[in-house]
Amino acid sequence: MKITFLGTGTSQGIPVINSDHPVCLSSDKKDKRLRVSVLIQWNNWSYVIDCGPDFRYQMLRARVSKLDGILFTHEHADHVAGLDDIRPFVFQAGPMSVFAHLRVLNDLRIRFNYIFRSKNKYPGAPSVIENELNGTPFKLAKIYVKPIELMHGKLPVFGYRFNDFAYLTDVKTIDSVQKEKLLNLKVLVVGVLRLEPHHAHLNLEEALQLIEELKPEKTYITHISHKLGFHEEVQNKLPKNVFLAYDELVIEV
């Protein structure tokens, strides 16, 4: 299984517009982060988790010529705002399969009404095939995917486990039942916003405690804001099996 980090930044990306924060002014390529998303590929299948406002450029940069579906973690703009840019894939191969909680699908139906409507549809609009998720494992191209129920502050969101790989972004708390689903991982990807505590996201200290509890073989940190610090400086302070992800990083699981 091939994992490509399409974006590893928080909702504003890095650099932040009009910011003079030192990280935003960094010349290190690893400090420049698009909105968070990941591409998962195996055999001839390709899926992304979330498609934010940078989706078009991410697809071009990663040279993605085929996309079989999108799994949504939740409905915040930095995770869904690029949905219109599925058009080239839809024109090429037909309606795009989307997977999400019913609440998220309902939000998308409002935000992208022209995509989801069945009557009086504009001929150039993309089409989707809706797949409602309720926390039960489901099958994608011979792989069982387990939704992981997380809390993003007070908002329930999904993470996803594909075999020995799990992806958790925008998370603050995980109950013990869901943690059981995250044991024996080869690779864990987890969102870490910054050093200081946040009401809806893990900070670095909290994430390291979670990693110690789950004990994956390797962990990659994503959904990073400029307030976490310079990539190189933070990486040098992390445990040997914990890594800061960066845009265009490719790993095999």
Residues 82-94: pLDDT tens digits? Answer: 999 999 999 999 9
| pLDDT (0 to 100) of residue 39 | 98
Tokens read off for 116: 């989801």
Cα–Cα distance, 212 to 169 (Å, whole number): 18
Question: Is residue 1 within 8 Å of residue 42, measured between CB atoms?
Answer: yes
| pLDDT, tens digit (0-9, with 9 covering 90-100), for 30-42 | 999 999 999 999 9
| pLDDT (0 to 100) of residue 247 | 98
Q: For 33, which DSSP code? A: B
251 band by pLDDT with thresholds 50, 70 and 90:
very high
120 band by pLDDT with thresholds 50, 70 and 90:
confident
Mean pLDDT throughout 181-203?
Answer: 98
Cα–Cα distance, 220 to 242 (Å, whole number): 6
Tokens read off for 205: 């200290």
Top pLDDT among 120 and 87 is at 87
Mean pLDDT throughout 154-180?
Answer: 98
Question: Is residue 52 within 8 Å of residue 78, measured between CB atoms?
Answer: yes
| pLDDT, tens digit (0-9, with 9 covering 90-100), for 227-246 | 999 999 999 999 999 999 99
73 band by pLDDT with thresholds 50, 70 and 90:
very high
Mean pLDDT throughout 66-71?
Answer: 98
Residue 122 has pLDDT above 90, yes or no: no
State the Cα torsion 121-60-161-76 to the nearest 10°: -60
Which residues partner with 67 through β-bridges?
none
Domain 2-252 has CATH 3.60.15.10: yes
> Collapsing DSSP states into helix, strand and coil, what is residue 219?
strand
Backbone torsion region of residue 187, taken as left when φ is above 0, otherwise alpha when ψ lies between -120 and 50, otherwise beta: beta
Residue 190 has pLDDT above 90, yes or no: yes
Domains of the chain, by residue range, sit at 2-252
Residue 204 has pLDDT above 90, yes or no: yes
Question: Is residue 28 within 8 Å of residue 230, measured between CB atoms?
Answer: yes
Cα–Cα distance, 191 to 201 (Å, whole number): 7
Angle at alpha carbon of residue 44, lines to 40 and 50, rounded to 5°: 30
> Collapsing DSSP states into helix, strand and coil, what is residue 28?
coil
Q: What is the pTM of this model?
A: 0.97
Which residues partner with 49 through β-bridges?
38, 71
